[in-house]
Every structure is written in C-alpha cells, then in structure tokens.
C-alpha cells in the first residue's frame, strides 16, 4: 500500500514528499516537531502533544500554520489515508522558506510536514530483556525544553552507545547528573520505593508520557520525587526505566555495564506501563477524544 505524507496543504506519496532546499528547517534546524503514537487508531495523549507543540512554537516565535482544529483534521486524515492502527505520527513545523540568512523577517510562512509510520507497540524484546544504557556527556544546546529538530547531539550519543554495545545513551550534565535519554525521559526507583525523575528544570524535554505517568502514579499513591540523580545512584537503584511517546515505559536493566537491581526488568516499570496503557485507553481520566475549545 502506498504511504502518504502531508506537506504544506497536500497529501503526497511518501516517496515524493519534499520541502524546498531554502527551507530554514534544513538550513538552520529552525523547526520544532512532535511524535504522537496512534494505538488502535487513537492518537495517544493528543492534547499533551499539541499543548507542547504550541509551547515550542511560541518559544521560537514561529506561527502555528493552521488552527488546532484544522491540524487535528489533517492528523486524522493522514491516519485514514495510510490505513494505520498502530503507528507513530511525526509532525515538523519549520519557520519557512527564505534565502539563506541568519536574520529572518516576520512574514515567513511556516512549513508543515506530517508523516506516519507503522509501529509494533508490543516492544516484546525490550520488555523481555530490558535495555542497556551508557552514560554520554550531554552536549546539546541550552534549551532542550523546546522540542526542536536539532537532534544531532542526541543521534551521535545514541550511536556512540550502540557502538559500545548498549541500546541507548543516558545524557549526563556537567555536574554529573543524568538529564534524560537520547529520546526519552530517565527514571529510577530507589531502594525505599521512591520513583525519581529529574525536574523539568529547563535541562530536559518535559515528556508528555512523563506527565501522564506522574498522573497515573499519583492515583496509585506511589511516591514520585522530582530531583536530579547521578549514574552511580541509578546503578545502585532497585529499578530504572525510560518513558517516551513511541516506547511508552521500557525497563533499563544495565547502566555502563553494571546491572540495575537483579539485572532483570522490574515490577514497578511493568506495572506503570500497564497503567499508562490503561490511561491511554481512557482509564484514570485521560483526555480521550479531546477537541480544543
Ligand atoms: N522523543 N526527551 C527527549 C530528548 C525526547 O526526544 C523525547 C521524545 C522525550 C519523551 O517525551 P514524550 O514522552 O513526550 O515522547 C524526552 C520522541 C519520541 C522522538 O523524538 O522520537
């Protein structure tokens, strides 16, 4: 079946989809993006992702290319045309096209690109084996709270980890604290059962899945603590895990070659994943079928 992409007002065959070489997204990484999982045909945590998209655009003073209601229609139409049930939807919005210049004027027309890609959300292997991660120095720019397409440091960090035989990188700041994963938020469960993740202090992306998990954990009266932690603390934690829109909750079983806990996927990550999936199906007050006012 041919895949379709959406580019600036048109649904086009994926293989032929393109933007102009003078697009500022290409020339300056002057663009933001979102990734939304579609599970059983439903956009997961749609509201959280759209809210964050609007925030990212506002931080960079890029205009929203269409109303949110229109954006939602395009997302649904793209899902329909691609006939996907379980998939990841990617949306990039750039400041637009202009002759290459560090300065930019106010009148640019933002470029909007959307694609969907089938996904296997069973994550069977990662759940059975758990992930191994490696500490890599966080060399990203000072605004990782904005979801920009400037992903080269994260991509290089992940490649470095893979070349060393790990599955992913956990980024570490200049003070030795974990910021987040290459494309996910990082969590640990301490010996006395606290669930710890770094605060959204401007040094991480405030994950939509992270927010949902905090909501779910509070419902179950689990103790969530927001504070930075080091690689050494994570290595001696009872459990570790990551969260993201495309992987939900995945256990981390080793860090820099040292097993976390007993080196096997742990029960807290497993239960949180199950409850997060229940939440995304409408349990626990999830905003399913959300339409903006
Ligand atoms: N990544 N931190 C970073 C650096 C990320 O890139 C992501 C998401 C997250 C988790 O955020 P959320 O729960 O909203 O997905 C945290 C997406 C999935 C990606 O780039 O593919």
pLDDT (tens, 9 = 90+) of the chain, 293 residues, equals 669 999 999 999 999 999 999 999 999 999 999 999 999 999 999 999 999 999 999 999 999 999 999 999 999 999 999 999 999 999 999 999 999 999 999 899 999 999 999 999 999 999 999 999 999 999 999 999 999 999 999 999 999 999 999 999 999 999 999 999 999 999 999 999 999 999 999 999 999 999 999 999 999 999 999 999 999 999 999 999 999 999 999 999 999 999 999 999 999 999 999 999 998 877 666 555 554 43
Alpha carbon nearest to ligand 1 atom 19, residue: 183
d(CA 139, CA 242): 20
What is the model's pLDDT at position 264? 98
Domains and CATH numbers, the chain: 4-118 (3.30.470.10), 124-280 (3.20.10.10)
Alpha carbon nearest to ligand 1 atom 1, residue: 183
Alpha carbon nearest to ligand 1 atom 3, residue: 183
Contact 46, 123 (CB under 8 A): no
Ligand 1 site, residue 185, Cβ cutoff 6 A: yes
Facing residues of 208 across strands? none
Ligand 1 site, residue 56, Cβ cutoff 6 A: no
DSSP type of residue 109: P
Candidates 61, 125, 147, 258; catalytic one? 147
DSSP type of residue 23: B
CA of 107 to the centre of ligand 1 (A): 30
What is the model's pLDDT at position 293? 39
d(CA 62, CA 64): 7
Closest to 202 in 3D by CA, of 138, 144, 141, 242: 144
Measured from the Cβ of residue 141, the count of other Cβ atoms closer than 10 Å reads 10
Contact 38, 116 (CB under 8 A): yes
Two tokens, residue 107? 């009148």
Atom of ligand 1 nearest to the CA of 208: 14
Matching residue, tokens 């994963």: 181
The length of the chain, given as a count of residues: 293
Ligand 1 site, residue 48, Cβ cutoff 6 A: no
d(CA 47, CA 100): 34
Two tokens, residue 163? 């070349």
Alpha carbon nearest to ligand 1 atom 9, residue: 184
Contact 199, 227 (CB under 8 A): yes
Ligand 1 site, residue 43, Cβ cutoff 6 A: no
Active site residue 147: yes
């Amino acid at each position: 079946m041919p895949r379709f992409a959406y580019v600036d007002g048109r649904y086009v065959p994926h293989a032929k989809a393109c933007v102009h070489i003078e697009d500022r997204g290409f020339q300056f990484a002057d663009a933001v993006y979102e990734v939304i999982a579609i599970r059983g045909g439903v956009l997961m945590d749609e509201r959280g992702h759209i809210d964050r998209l609007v925030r990212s655009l506002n931080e960079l003073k890029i205009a929203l290319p269409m109303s949110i209601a229109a954006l939602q229609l395009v997302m649904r139409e793209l899902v329909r045309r691609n006939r996907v049930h379980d998939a990841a939807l990617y949306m990039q919005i750039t400041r637009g096209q202009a002759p290459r210049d560090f300065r930019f004027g106010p009148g640019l027309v933002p470029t909007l690109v959307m694609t969907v890609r089938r996904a296997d959300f069973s994550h069977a292997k990662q759940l059975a084996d758990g992930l191994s991660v490696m500490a890599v120095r966080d060399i990203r720019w000072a605004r990782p709270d904005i979801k920009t397409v400037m992903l080269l440091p994260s991509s290089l960090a992940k490649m470095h980890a893979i070349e060393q035989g790990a599955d992913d990188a956990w980024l570490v700041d200049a003070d030795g604290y974990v910021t987040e994963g290459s494309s996910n938020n990082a969590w640990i469960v301490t010996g006395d059962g606290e669930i710890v993740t770094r605060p959204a202090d401007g040094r991480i992306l405030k994950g939509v899945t992270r927010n949902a998990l905090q909501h779910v954990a509070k419902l179950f009266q689990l103790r969530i603590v927001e504070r930075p932690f080091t690689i050494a603390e994570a290595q001696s934690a009872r459990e570790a895990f990551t969260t993201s829109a495309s992987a939900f909750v995945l256990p981390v079983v080793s860090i820099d070659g040292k097993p976390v806990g007993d080196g096997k996927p742990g029960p807290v990550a497993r239960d949180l994943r199950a409850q997060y999936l229940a939440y995304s199906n409408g349990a626990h007050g999830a905003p399913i079928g959300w339409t903006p006012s």
